[in-house]
């Protein structure tokens, strides 16, 4: 199983770009990297998923270097409503097991 390591918490200010890095040194060839966002009193919500290089959607960008041992979630111009916990997940090689780590608590200040 690919274990992930993320910073426990991060602070930012409104309007800034936030980059959250996740380490996954034991990622397997067929594994994808997925990020979820969780607000208080809600279930996690899918943000973005990628395999290599760069993926961008209307919410975020995901940067994955060639060795795929880490990935960076980039949130452009954050607002107070982006305050949440962000989880990085790496798929098990068997394809069926999903493991959430402790996540990164992002605090966006005015």
Contacts with other proteins by CB under 8 A lie at 31-32, 34, 36, 41-46, 49, 85, 87, 89, 91-92, 95-103
Nearer to other proteins among residue 67 and residue 97 (C-beta): 97
DSSP 8-state symbol, 58: S
3-state secondary structure of 80: helix
For the bound state, the minimum distance from the C-beta of residue 16 to other proteins, rounded and expressed in Å, comes to 25
For the bound state, the minimum distance from the C-beta of residue 107 to other proteins, rounded and expressed in Å, comes to 15
Q: Strand 18-23 relative to strand 9-13: parallel, antiparallel, unpaired?
A: unpaired
């Amino acid at each position: 199983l690919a274990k992930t390591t993320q910073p426990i918490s991060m602070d930012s200010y409104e309007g800034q770009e936030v980059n959250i890095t996740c380490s996954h040194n034991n990622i397997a060839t067929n594994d994808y990297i997925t990020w979820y966002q969780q607000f208080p009193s809600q279930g996690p919500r899918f943000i973005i998923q990628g395999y290599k290089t760069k993926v961008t959607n209307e919410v975020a960008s995901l940067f994955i270097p060639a060795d795929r041992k880490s990935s960076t979630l980039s949130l452009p111009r954050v607002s107070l409503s982006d305050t949440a916990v962000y989880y990085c997940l790496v798929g098990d090689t068997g394809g069926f097991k999903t493991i959430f780590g402790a996540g990164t608590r992002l605090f966006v200040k005015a």
